[in-house]
Amino acid sequence: MTEPARRYLPEIVAALLVGVPGGISIPLFLSRGDVTSAFAVIWGVATLASVALVPAVARAGTDWQRELRVLFVASGVLGVVSIVTGIGNNATDEPFTMAAYLATLLHGHDPYTTVVQVTYTARTLNLWSNHVSAPFHYVYLPLLLFFQVPGTGAVGYKALGLACWAGIVYLVRKDRFAALCLVSPVVALVAANGFTDLPVLLLMTLSLRGAQGIPGRAAEYATYAMKQFANAFWLVYYVVRRDVLRAGLVVGLTLLFAAPFLLWHPDGIWCEALTFSLSPGCASAPNSSRQLSDLYSHWNYYLWIVWVYALFHTELHRLGARAWARLRPRPTAAAPSS
């Protein structure tokens, strides 16, 4: 590789992270006429590939903090352009539904049992308009409802997601590996689409890499009442650390936050948010048709994998090495000669 190409390798990789899945997505859209789960897989793989920015910066041989600033500005601009124009956007209905769910609650109705009819127009790549009118049902934990800017609509929610992404990168700015993984333009695009994961990940990052003491604990506890991936993460986090009391606290506080809705309509939050409609008696729940394909057909799910790996790559490599050492066949001792 020539010297100029190597010097700009981080920027080349960043462009490929967006350009390759974009080049695959546009013909796919033109041939099918709609957005399918294939888009989630294509862009999800690109999200996972964000880790390639780490060796790219190392190979370029330049100051990684300078590269971080350049990539941050470029990714941020891409996110703003995506929000304003619709390019690479509208991969989720969440920016259009969260305000409706909150309004349902503020009007005295249980969002877990009240089906909300939401109507909006999604513009894919700012070229094709898709009119959506469908019933939606709230499936996350209650505190997430309040993390939005009233009166700003879908654009405001997407801007909030992008701001949360910027906050996450800022919190990990001193960690070379984590910062370069999360500054990726694909991660910025996930945020600009307005996925509800971003406020949760910001608070989790704040509790792990930012605030100490009571503020850090408060940020952590807040995530117990927001999105179920956070609860699963904290539970595994404390189980791995063999902290049974803290693992129990995760479960206890989750149920405490859910208690008002459990008392209001027991089958509502229990089926929709706590057991994913898998428990007995939830077969008729509005979102009971969950499938195994949900694990790979949601773009935002891939973001959690990148976030966990970015923040805990050292620990994960150590655990992997230990597991490999235990599984690897040990050489047998040579039999003593007679």
pLDDT of residue 334: 54
User: φ and ψ at 119, to 5 degrees?
Assistant: -125, 130
pLDDT of residue 221: 98
What six digits make up the tokens of 217?
A: 């604990």
Cβ atoms of 294 and 281 within 8 Å: the answer is: no
Residues in a beta bridge with 116: 136
The structure's pTM equals 0.92
Q: Which residues contact 303 (CB under 8 A, 6 or more apart)?
A: 47, 187, 190, 195, 197, 201
Could you state, in chain order, the average pLDDT of each consecutive group of 10 residues for the chain (338 residues)?
78 96 83 72 96 96 95 98 88 92 95 88 64 86 95 95 98 97 98 97 96 93 97 97 97 97 92 82 60 80 98 92 80 57
- Pick from 117, 147, 146: nearest CA to 132: 117
